């Protein structure tokens, strides 16, 4: 349908008001149909430390809880699990995944939708994530701890916070002297990484227009990124083919 499942082959594009949905008799639609039904029968409980958090007001129930670093955070969530018979906990940020993953027993019978604590820890630390990727044969920009930057490092380099998000505490360095300058002044634990080369492409568009264009997949090259994307089409039931200008 317009939200879940594959695009019907008879439709060139899906209108935003399209009333269709997944075929419950098609085994390939099991995930989409399950997701649709869960939204109809599930009750959501949203939590935040700030009563002005927008997500609180899109749930069936809302609760103010301590901050993630507070020792009472998990206890507060466990109380909500018991009160509302919660069966699934979905972390919406990187801040508490490791905490919740390590507290699975305390939060039972709710299922915590998060990887094991060791995986959360590695993925939450950009340098450890780089090491993990290299160990498993996944490409990653060359990265080093501050004292290990080699003489043949290709500049520019980035001095980056190891744990964080939102593009904060990231500094570009054109020389070894600039690397040392930023490392000496950054207030957070950091590592050094080669800058990925390539053309940076930014698109200025209102969020509502972007989502409307993405939902209309077959016309994304006309509505969202004309010139950069030259064609977008469905190939069979499952494949989506995007053709780029270059």
Strand order in the sheet with 170-173: 143-144, 190-194, 157-161, 170-173
pTM over 0.75? The answer is no
How many other CB atoms sit within 10 Å of the CB of residue 110? 20
- Give me the residues paired with residue 233 across strands: 241
Amino acid 190: pLDDT? 97
Q: Which tokens sit at 4?
A: 């879940």
Long-range CB pairs of 128-137 (<8 Å, 24+ gap) are 128/162, 130/191, 130/193
Q: Which tokens sit at 201?
A: 């492409």
Beta-carbon contacts of 75 under 8 Å, excluding residues fewer than 6 positions away, are 106
Pick from 227, 214, 230, 208: which is nearest to 7 by CA? Answer: 214
Tokens 């069936």 map to which residue? 60
- Give me the residues paired with residue 89 across strands: 112
Per-residue confidence in pLDDT tens, the chain, 246 aa = 334 566 677 777 766 666 666 676 777 777 777 766 776 778 899 999 999 988 898 889 999 999 999 999 999 999 999 999 999 999 988 889 999 999 999 999 999 999 999 999 999 999 999 999 999 999 999 999 999 999 999 999 999 999 988 788 999 999 999 999 999 999 999 999 999 988 777 767 777 777 776 666 666 656 555 666 677 776 666 666 767 765
Amino acid 206: pLDDT? 77
For residues 44-67, one letter each, b for 16 or more C-beta atoms within 10 angstroms of the residue's C-beta and e for the rest, the string is ebbbbeeeeeeebeeeeebbebee
- Evaluated on CA atoms 209, 215, 220, 222, the torsion sign reads negative
């Amino acid at each position: 349908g317009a939200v879940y499942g594959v695009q019907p082959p008879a439709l060139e594009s899906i209108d935003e008001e399209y009333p269709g949905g997944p075929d419950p008799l098609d085994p390939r639609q099991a995930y989409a149909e399950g997701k649709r039904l869960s939204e109809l029968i599930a009750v959501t409980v949203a939590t935040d430390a700030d009563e002005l958090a927008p997500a609180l007001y899109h749930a069936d129930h809302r609760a103010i809880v301590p901050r993630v670093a507070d020792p009472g955070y998990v206890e507060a969530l466990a109380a909500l699990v018991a009160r509302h018979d919660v069966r699934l906990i979905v972390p919406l940020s990187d801040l508490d995944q490791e905490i919740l993953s390590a507290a699975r027993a305390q939060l039972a019978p709710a299922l915590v939708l998060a990887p094991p604590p060791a995986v959360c820890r590695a993925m939450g630390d950009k340098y450890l994530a780089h090491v993990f990727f290299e160990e498993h044969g996944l490409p990653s920009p060359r990265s080093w701890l501050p004292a290990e930057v080699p003489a043949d490092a290709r500049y520019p380099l980035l001095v980056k916070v190891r744990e964080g998000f939102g593009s904060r505490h990231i500094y570009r360095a054109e020389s070894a002297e600039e690397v040392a300058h930023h490392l000496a002044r950054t207030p957070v634990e950091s590592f050094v990484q080669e800058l990925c080369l390539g053309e940076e492409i930014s698109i200025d568009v209102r969020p509502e227009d972007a989502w409307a264009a993405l939902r209309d997949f077959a016309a994304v090259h006309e509505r969202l990124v004309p010139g950069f994307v030259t064609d977008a089409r469905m190939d069979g039931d499952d494949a989506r083919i995007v053709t780029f200008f270059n």
